Chain A
Amino acid sequence: MKKICLTVVGMYLMLLHAFSQVTKDTSTFKPRKLTLDEVNLVSSYYTQNGDHSAVQGGIGSEKVTDLANGLELKWVGWDAHQRKNTLTAGLGIDLHTAASQAYISKTGASSRTNGTRIYPSLDWTRENEKKGTSLSLGAYYSNEFNYQSIGVSAGGTIKTKHNGEFGLKLSSYFDQVKLIYPSEFEPNSTTTSASGGGEDDHPHYGSSPRQTYTASLSFSQIINTRLQASLLLDVVQQHGYLGLPFHRVYFTDQTDAVERLPSNRFKLPLGLRLNYFLGDKIILRSYYRYYMDNWGVRSHTASLEVPVKITPFFSVSPFYRYYVQTAADYFAPYTQHLKTDTYYTSNYALSAFSSNFFGAGIRLAPPNGVFGTHLSSLEIRYGHYTQTTDLVSDVISLHLQFR
């Protein structure tokens, strides 16, 4: 009997030891080289229609389709000082068609109505878990027919003692806008070019620079076991050519010109996120943003997404977003601008409007992968967007994550 008792006590002590929380012996820590940890694929198909094209001065088709594909590879490793290093390489390719591009030629005969945008990126983060700090660097490039961009960023985060985290990120974009003017403003142009007119007849365009400098400040805080929040502030200064050279404006006397906007823009968006886990199955993801700039645009954005966990690994997420803005000081519709105006645009993105965006997504993330494969999560999301300018669009997106 004594033997049985001692055996049971011995087994209990062994189990207790096996499941007890032991302090990690850091002397046995070995650095780990960067290894591929995660692969993300995001694809979207976007389609829109409207009748306020900026290319025709605020009238005409805004029909656009866009197929966007992004691949992101993430490598993770630990150095000799137990700092976590993450290297993320991304490559995006967008293929789009835009009906309005045909009207860069006055007759609507421009042959280029589609385009490709390629944008690789590289980000590196070093995280010191002991100190609760991280540092990051990034480099970005984007190229499409009428636009090139080079971007760099540097940032850091620091955790507070009370489950909070401050973040600061500085980024700069150095862009070049190719000066593709409407055909009637091209040197020696004929508006009825036999070969279609527009940009294809003029392969050597000049370009104009645009710089964007952003300081992004963030503070996130765990409020209790179910609620966390973050406050986001971007301070943005842009210089250079801030319009697009193929956007027309028609004056009250029916004559036209290329849109003209100030060469400086200061933007100040302030956002607040609040996420709350309600019960065991419902999450409330809320977001609000106030935006202002020195062009006179003021806007409010509010959104709510409600992921409902049908099972612990499958959720359905309906969402709704409301947006409203005032017009920029320089906006007026077709044939409403005066020739005496200093600045003028008929781009409806700078008009006064409100928009509604709603839809739903599904997410599947079983612990052993989808169908037992390396596909760790699968998300599909659809959204329908309407503006009071009559612009309507639909977007469907797919996100696959492999681990």
Chain B
Amino acid sequence: MKKKLFPWCLVALLISGAFTACSPVKEYQKNKLNDSEMSLSSRKVEKNELNFQSYREGAAGANGGKTGGGCGCN
């Protein structure tokens, strides 16, 4: 049980650490963040890759794409 919990605690710690370490960023400081390749969503060119992965793999979702339904996939 301890072994199973350890990676989850580590991930939770990393995530909470990252989100709480935020420093204030002004609009004029966002030139790098506003770069189109910094977007926090999948690229449009990836759309069909996500589609075939949802057919060939058991997992889907949490990537802005399909979660099941809408196709004869999983």
* Chain A 339-351: CB-based contact to B (< 8 A → 1; otherwise 0): 0000000000110
Residues from chain A with a CB closer than 8 A to the CB of B49 are: 44, 357, 381, 383, 395, 397
B58 A225 Cβ-Cβ under 8 A: no
A264 at the interface (CB under 8 A from B): no
Instruction: Pick the residue among B15, B24, B33, B61 that contacts A267 (CB under 8 A).
Output: B61
- Interface size for chain B: under 10, 10 to 19, 20 to 34, or 35 or more residues? 35 or more
Chain A interface helix/strand/loop/mixed: strand
> Known interface pairs A232-B64, A350-B74. Does A398 touch B58 (Cβ–Cβ under 8 Å)?
no
> Known interface pairs A267-B68, A277-B35. Does A46 touch B48 (Cβ–Cβ under 8 Å)?
yes
> Which of B18, B40, B71, B74 is the most central at the interface, judged by chain A CB atoms within 10 Å of its CB?
B40
B19 A225 Cβ-Cβ under 8 A: no
Residues from chain A with a CB closer than 8 A to the CB of B63 are: 232, 269, 271, 287, 289
Shortest Cβ distance from B31 into A: residue: A225
Give complex CA distance A223, B61 in Å: 24
For residue A329, give the distance in angstroms from its CB to the closest CB of chain B: 11
B38 A228 Cβ-Cβ under 8 A: yes
**Tally of A interface residues using CB under 8 Å:** 93
Q: Which A positions have Cβ atoms within 8 angstroms of B?
A: 40, 42, 44, 46, 48, 66, 68, 70, 117, 119, 140, 142, 144, 146-147, 149, 151, 162-164, 173, 175, 177, 210-212, 214, 216, 220-234, 236, 238, 244, 265, 267, 269-275, 277, 283, 285, 287, 289, 291, 293, 295, 297, 299, 301, 307, 315, 317, 323, 325, 328, 349-350, 355, 357, 361, 363, 365, 377, 379-381, 383, 385, 387, 391, 393, 395, 397-399, 401
